[in-house]
Amino acid sequence: MRLLGAGLPISLGVEDLKDTWKKDEPSFESSSAKDDEVEQYKKEIDELKDEIKGLKEA
């Protein structure tokens, strides 16, 4: 009887672990959104570099 009582929390713990593993998996949709964000930041950095260069020359 005690073995059956201990089995329930163990099985619930395993299910909980499975749920957390599913949450940690990266989604492929977000990677394309991240690529767009990276390109946006690269463009902004280039613009700021040009602005700094212009201020140094002035």
What are 1-57's pLDDT values in tens digits?
555 566 656 666 777 777 776 665 665 556 677 888 899 999 999 999 999 999 998
For residue 4, the model assigns a pLDDT of 54
Cα-Cα-Cα-Cα dihedral sign, residues 34, 37, 43, 47: negative
3-state secondary structure of 53: helix
For residue 11, the model assigns a pLDDT of 65
pTM: 0.45
